[in-house]
Amino acid sequence: MTKHMPDIACQPHHGPQGKLNWVGMSGIELPILIQQGLDKDNIVTLSSQAQAYVDLNDPQSKGIHMSRLYLHLDQMASQEPLSSNRVKAILEAFINSHQGLSTQAFVEFKFDYYERRNSLLSDNSGWKHYPATIRGEMRQGQYSCELSIEVPYSSTCPCSAALSRQLIQEAFEKQFSGAEMDYQTVFEWLGTPEGICATPHSQRSYAQVKVKISESDDLALSVIINQIENALQTPVQAVVKREDEQEFARLNATNLMFCEDASRRLQNAFENNAEYLDFWIRVNHLESLHPHDAVAVVTKGIENGYIDDPNLMDPM
């Protein structure tokens, strides 16, 4: 015999009435399917923290059906890999399950994306970690999807490099001024601590990139990571032998960057890519010289899109 249980949500609402922008859940622990690398058949299960919301359009309703949001997430995020099209289908399911109550929907998945990356020169590879977010929204029938990724790299200060070169020149002049010298003597001196008496400061840095993507069945996180690392040229390394460390030093010396330089490199890489409807880029140089960070932010077109975002200056 089925036990009758009260359903308070279906009873008349007698309190203050009003429409609500968003009602739902945050901090949902949920496994999701994500394409790893460039192989569409390489699908991995990752742990995520999700948020799910719909608007409450009926001022006389007590509330939404939160369990329906959870059940749609549970079914749809773990059956197929997440993509822009899959996120859109989830949002449409949210709204369809709240007929008469809701016309707008929002969903977000935060997760740690891992990928094996090759060392610079040696025949090695190791895992690198990239915090990522997929966010979708349906407002007044208009769908938008945003992909966010954080990529670490190294930045060496151009000013510090110039000052170091000056000290090396002064040390050379002090050592050899007025003296007879030959190639071998200079060559050996350059390999001593006195020969390289100053080094520029560098630091671990982070590029935080948000892109608005069009509707598609693909979600190539690897492509975006490659675009960022190729533009900056100094990706941090998971596994290094001596030849990798030496190549890393060479790359830093040939890619001296203020935060302004790094942000402009990324701006150029993403401005010329038609597949991104909009982008927001923030670079953070965690200064080794200062106790504060150097930061630059750029958006597509400067005058449009993300420039109006109140969270413009906030890290992801």
Reading across the β-sheet that carries 294-299, which strands appear in turn?
20-35, 43-56, 105-118, 125-139, 142-156, 202-213, 276-285, 294-299
Same domain, 178 and 70: no
Whole-angstrom distance, CA of residue 135 vs CA of residue 133: 6
Whole-angstrom distance, CA of residue 20 vs CA of residue 214: 28
Whole-angstrom distance, CA of residue 68 vs CA of residue 89: 14
Same domain, 59 and 169: no
Q: What is the pLDDT of residues 190-229, one digit of tens each?
A: 999 998 999 999 999 999 999 999 888 888 899 999 999 9
Whole-angstrom distance, CA of residue 136 vs CA of residue 145: 4
Check pLDDT > 70 for residue 305. no
Same domain, 35 and 183: no
Q: Write the CATH number for 257.
A: 3.10.270.10
174 in any annotated domain: yes
Check pLDDT > 60 for residue 275. yes
End-of-domain residue from the set 140, 167, 190? 190
Q: What is the pLDDT of residues 34-84, one digit of tens each?
A: 998 888 888 999 999 999 999 998 888 878 899 999 999 999 888 899 999
Same domain, 163 and 234: no
- Is the pTM for the entire model greater than 0.85? yes
Please give the pLDDT value at position 302.
55
How does the average pLDDT of the chain come out, rounded? 90
Q: What is the pLDDT of residues 77-103, one digit of tens each?
A: 888 999 999 999 999 999 999 998 999
Q: How many structural domains comprise the chain?
A: 2
Whole-angstrom distance, CA of residue 101 vs CA of residue 265: 46
Helix, strand, coil shares of the chain as percentages rounded to 5? Answer: 30, 35, 35
Whole-angstrom distance, CA of residue 262 vs CA of residue 54: 38
Same domain, 93 and 171: no
DSSP H or E run through 111: strand 105-118
Please give the pLDDT value at position 308.
46
Same domain, 136 and 82: yes
Same domain, 165 and 242: no
Same domain, 164 and 105: no
Same domain, 129 and 252: yes
Whole-angstrom distance, CA of residue 196 vs CA of residue 165: 9
Please give the pLDDT value at position 218.
85
End-of-domain residue from the set 167, 190, 213? 190
Same domain, 55 and 167: no
Confidence of residue 180 (pLDDT cuts 50, 70, 90): confident
Same domain, 180 and 256: no
Please give the pLDDT value at position 33.
95
End-to-end Cα separation, the chain, in angstroms: 52
- Domain range holding 182? 158-190
Same domain, 251 and 235: yes
228 in any annotated domain: yes
Please give the pLDDT value at position 59.
83
Give the angle 249-243-182 at the CA atoms, nearest 5°: 70
Please give the pLDDT value at position 211.
94
Cβ atoms 49, 4 nearer than 8 A: no
Cβ atoms 224, 207 nearer than 8 A: no
